[in-house]
A and B are shown apart, each in its own frame.
Chain A
Amino acid sequence: MTTSINIKQVLLVDDDLNIRTLAQMGLEGLTDWKVELAGSGAEAVIKATELQPDLIILDVMMPGMDGPTTLTELRKIENLAATPVIFMTAKAQTHEVELYQMMGAKGIITKPFDPMTLSDDIQGILSKG
């Protein structure tokens, strides 16, 4: 399982605490990544600026700033322009996948996800390049 990017720290953004808990459990339990959490788009922008994570996982549907808007904001920040971003969404129709990829997302994780295979899925997306 080799990835082109060496990941140490991940920022996970979702407004649902239950999802944050579960995803963090799966990722930290099975990889050596340190998973930082944000509960909203605004918090994500602040934390991403401060932490400079190696990967950002963004929920699409969030109150206030939604996933795509957050991504646009993140891209404006220096040093974060090239950080890989993966969207997480419960709506994954083909045209949406294309749309998100056009926006510069590395890929999409569909909800519901299996916490035991989440890290493998992410590594799969990242290794596709």
Chain B
Amino acid sequence: MAERNSYILVIDDDKYFRDLASELLQSKGYEVVLARNAYEATAALEAKRPALAIVDYRLPEVDGMTWISKVRESDGNLPIVLCTGNWCDQKTFNWLRNILKVSLVLQKPIVPELFLHSLENIIPPPANRPPVAAEAEQSFKIQPALDTTQEEESLEQIERLLAASETRPHELERLTKLKRRIETQNAIKRARESFVKSLPEAWGELTATVKKARENPKNLLLLQEAMAVAHKLKGTAGSYGFSKVGQFAERIEHFLITVDPQSDSEQEVIWAEIIRCVTEGTQVVDAISREQATTSEAGKLPSLSCLAVVPEGGYPGPLKGAAQDANCELEMVGSSVGALVKFGRQQYDSAVIDLALDTASGHFQLARELRQAAKRTIPLGFINSKDEQHSHSEIVYGGASVLLDGNVTRGNLCEALQIMTVAGQMRKPRVLCVDDDPLLTSFVESVLRPAGIVVRSLNEPIVILDSMHEFQPDLVLLDVIMPGLTGYEVCRLLKSNDEWKYVPVIFLTSKSDAEGKRAAFTAGGTDFLSKPVLMDELLTRVKAHLSKTLNEVSTRIDPQSKVLTASALAAESEQLINICDQQSQVLSIGVISISEFDQLDTLHGAFSAEHVIGKLGELLNQRLRAEDLRGRISDSELGIVLAGEQTETLAKVFELLKQDWEKMCFPSGRGKEFQVDLCFSTAEFPLEGDNFEKLKDHALRGLKQRSALS
């Protein structure tokens, strides 16, 4: 509890830091005592208990963590802030939080404004505040509140009211009580949810013991055991608010008591009643757990929409099951015409095609037509249920991110849908949402995902760098107040990192006063959203900040060929090469050159060359897998990059490409249609180069040699 006239103890061997901290704290009206090392700190502590201790991680002789451990032996509640020059790892952080009960970890060098702002959340400045207010604030601000749940909004309302009624002690007391009630209610609600999960098991135990007692009617011990189980369940289920289950248990107990193991007469009537109660109770328990299952699933949004083009009555069971497992919204259609109609009406993220389906133009042609209808390079999956012969290059060129050979099961279908989900996300903007409250992160997911944004939630901010590296987000949403770590610190970390400093950060904050806003921008934030977060505002702001990134996507696309620009292709290829390197996989690069490109305009009229390269780009986008890279290498050359494939496959892919290309005629200014030749060359990683430039040069040399030969 905060004592009036209490002080803040600052322990640091660095004089500059001590002076700075003391000046800052005194400016806010705090009383400050300085200590140069652990011994001086302990002496100060013994003389008078401070309201807060700010401890440096590195101290001479006895370091900060050791000192805190010592303090905790006798004082479990003293609020402590640890300052450290290094970002600590997760293990250390958990130790600090959970064992040493450190309220906050701050990054050195400190930023004055953020320093004060962060401390104010732990201990309010003493200036002109009635002690009740300070005490009430302490009671809920030192430690982060219990996980807020559905009542979040009302809790936040109360907190606003609390802040507004600082000077009215009675009002404060009433509101604090109300707050405790809501928090307790929330905690009980969560306990109830976990109790539901164990309810079928508990009821099963009752059913089993009753059955045993029924089968051995002369055994008094078994009868008593059944009574005890029923008795217990009656009290427990009832207390958790499942009064109906409790009532059934009560009736069962009541009837069990009247059973007389010594008597032979009239027992059957009683047992019939007991069995009836057990049966009815089972139905109620089943209904409760089903309801629980559906409500917890309702909150989950589909991560992928998919159209399955499969023969009528093919395997709806496994498909539906897999869609459920992979959290996918799946529709089925039995013909290629039907599939095209559906794609014309609605956007799907992906499609699954069964190669056993009768199609007029061929399956690979259907795949191409679906992409044409979708106007996007959607990920595709092929099912080869009838074991038809298709070469690997046909499958790759056809665009299958995944091929299911032979038996279709719920398991392998689910895996296929997951692979397609990942392949489909390659081109969508990504947002990383960092908040310790899972409810808020799932809310953000539910708002952003339908807008075509891939959202990853992170509830443990301490591992943010790992998440950044793995997920490569285009934008970060960051909560300000998290247990042990403020969003400001996390943001500063990102901004000090060369790789991430340009990623926009939006703060989620319940402090939308001028100071809160200033702190958000001081820490390097791009923008902020006040909590409770409104759906429309969240979407609008995220989209606005992403638009910069999204525009960048469009500047990464070559306007003529609609494939990646040369520089974007190089950058993305390098990333892909890194991944292949880590997984010891090969990768192939192919260069496609349009013959006599420079002369096309002269021979066939203006824009002929542009038209030709546009058609080639379009073809590449309709063919090949969604995750393969397509880009422009030079005016007359396009490149493709296929992870996991050898140049042998690529050569066959080119044969197929050639077949498609030879069917394409272009209108000439001279009235006649004309055709264009393509030349190919390839290079393989790691055999012929360990980076994109080397591989590209290798392929280009191959092209030159070929044209020299011909």
Contacts and interface: CB of A to CB of B under 8 A. Distances in A.
Given A30-B180, A90-B231, A111-B234, A19 B239 contact: yes
Nearest to B227: A61
A25 B188 contact: yes
A61 B188 contact: no
A65 to B, nearest CB: 15
Interface string B204-245: 000000000000000000000000100110111111100100
A29 B184 contact: yes
B187 A90 contact: no
Contacts, number: 66
Interface stretch (A42-50, A71-79, A99-107, A112-120): A112-120
B209 to A, nearest CB: 14
A5 B391 CA distance: 85
B232 A16 contact: yes
Nearest to A110: B235
B195 interface: yes
B381 interface: no
Interface in B183-200: 183-185, 187-188, 191, 195, 198
A114 B242 CA distance: 11
A113 B183 CA distance: 19
Contact of B181 (A23, A30, A90, A111): A30
Contacts of B187: 25, 29
| Chain B at the A interface: SS class | helix
A61 B183 CA distance: 31
B191 A21 contact: yes
B281 interface: no
Contacts of B232: 15-16, 61, 90
Contact of B185 (A19, A23, A116): A116
A77 to B, nearest CB: 27
B246 interface: yes
Interface residues of B, number: 23
A18 B236 contact: yes
B234 A25 contact: no
B235 A111 contact: yes
A22 to B, nearest CB: 6
A39 interface: no
Interface in A1-53: 15-16, 18-19, 21-23, 25-26, 29-30
A47 B697 CA distance: 79
B228 A22 contact: no
Contact of B239 (A30, A63, A91, A112): A112
Interface in A44-97: 61, 63, 90-91
A15 B231 CA distance: 12
B246 A116 contact: no
B238 A112 contact: yes
A91 B228 CA distance: 12
Contacts of A115: 184, 188, 239
Interface string B235-275: 11111100100100010000000000000000000000000
A112 B237 contact: yes
Contacts of A16: 232, 235-236
B239 A113 contact: yes
A83 B246 CA distance: 32
B199 to A, nearest CB: 10
Contact of A61 (B180, B195, B228, B239): B228
A90 B240 contact: no
Contact of B188 (A15, A111, A112, A116): A116
Contacts of A18: 195, 198, 236, 239-240
B601 to A, nearest CB: 79
A26 B183 CA distance: 10
Contacts of A111: 234-236, 238-239
A105 B234 CA distance: 23
Given A19-B236, A25-B191, A112 B181 contact: no
A18 B358 CA distance: 59
A115 B228 CA distance: 23
Contact of A90 (B183, B184, B195, B234): B234
A25 B243 contact: no
Given A61-B231, A90-B234, A22 B239 contact: yes
A33 to B, nearest CB: 13
A84 B21 CA distance: 51
A25 to B, nearest CB: 5
B190 to A, nearest CB: 9
A60 to B, nearest CB: 10
Interface of A: 15-16, 18-19, 21-23, 25-26, 29-30, 61, 63, 90-91, 111-116
Given A18-B236, A26-B184, 7 more contacts: A19-B239, A22-B188, A22-B239, A22-B240, A61-B231, A112-B238, A115-B184
28 contacts: A16-B232, A16-B235, A16-B236, A18-B198, A18-B239, A19-B235, A22-B191, A22-B240, A25-B184, A25-B187, A29-B181, A29-B184, A29-B188, A30-B181, A30-B184, A61-B231, A90-B232, A90-B235, A90-B250, A91-B231, A111-B234, A112-B235, A112-B236, A112-B238, A112-B239, A112-B246, A115-B188, A115-B239
- Shortest Cβ-Cβ A-B pairs, 8 listed: A112-B238, A29-B184, A111-B235, A90-B235, A112-B239, A18-B236, A25-B187, A90-B234
